Structure 1
Amino acid sequence: MPTPTLVETPVLSLEQRLEELMDRKIAEALSSKSSRQQSMVLEEDHFSLEVMVVPLPRDFKQSKMEKYDGSSGPVDHLMSFVDLMRLQATPDAIMCRAFPPTLRLEARDWVATLPPKSIRIFDKFSKNFATHFASSKRVKKTAISLM
């Protein structure tokens, strides 16, 4: 392994310090949780550490909307969710965590297939979701298409 150059050394040091800081913040966040909650967070979680350490706002209300099951087009569900989150000025990290509970069946199963720590930004998460379920959109049949 080559030795780091002078330019690489500060970057490595900065990366190490950032990683240590993240580890410390996660430990602080987890110290207030029960052992069951800790194991749930530490297991193959789909959310990045950056998403997990953002505290839930005190006045946050989970959206009361119909759960999406993957059998229809995803865009309407996504737009409704985003509208409800914007009403509360919900931070991006909280939107990432608040979205999976609005899913069920095939859609919920899709989230379970995501790689660990892969959910970092809601924009990317929502685009992946919309792309995956785009083929589920129901197309209205016309008289001509039935012939």
Structure 2
Amino acid sequence: MPRAATYGRIWSERRGSSSTVTSDEDDRPIPESDSFSSDLSELESESEYNPDTEDEDLVKNKPREHKFKLHENVWVKPRGCFEWFRGSVKKIREPHSSRGTKKRGTLYLVVFRRHHTNMRDIFSSTEGTIKPDTPRVRALVRMAS
């Protein structure tokens, strides 16, 4: 309590006001340890560091490999476009180590409708440009639009 009164007195003195609160408690100096105290504690050593809570967001946002089936309904986001479109998987290509497509994972040829035109493109679930058509994903697409 005396801390707030002290700040109020300092404020009124800076503003040039002649009204100051005087009492025995307010005249006591504030110890330096109290003026710079914090509710946060610092780590004593690096062995106390627990990265599990800090890295959760990175793991949640990481695109996961999802296996789609032929003719399955999906949501796709074409390159250079900010919108998601509903489409259907027409062809699946498994990665071959000799072709260098192993890094992209399984590729899916998807036919989707964009601006009254049927279009097709290749998507990979590891890139995050293709999602399954589930109620949760539909809600996320609506929120993004």
Select the structure with the greater relative contact order (CA < 8 A; seq sep ≥ 6): 1
Structure 1 or 2: more helix by fraction? 1
Structure of greater Rg: 2
Into which bin does the TM-score normalised by the smaller protein fall? under 0.3
Structure 1 or 2: more strand by fraction? 2
TM-score normalized by the length of structure 2: 0.22
TM-score normalized by the length of structure 1: 0.21
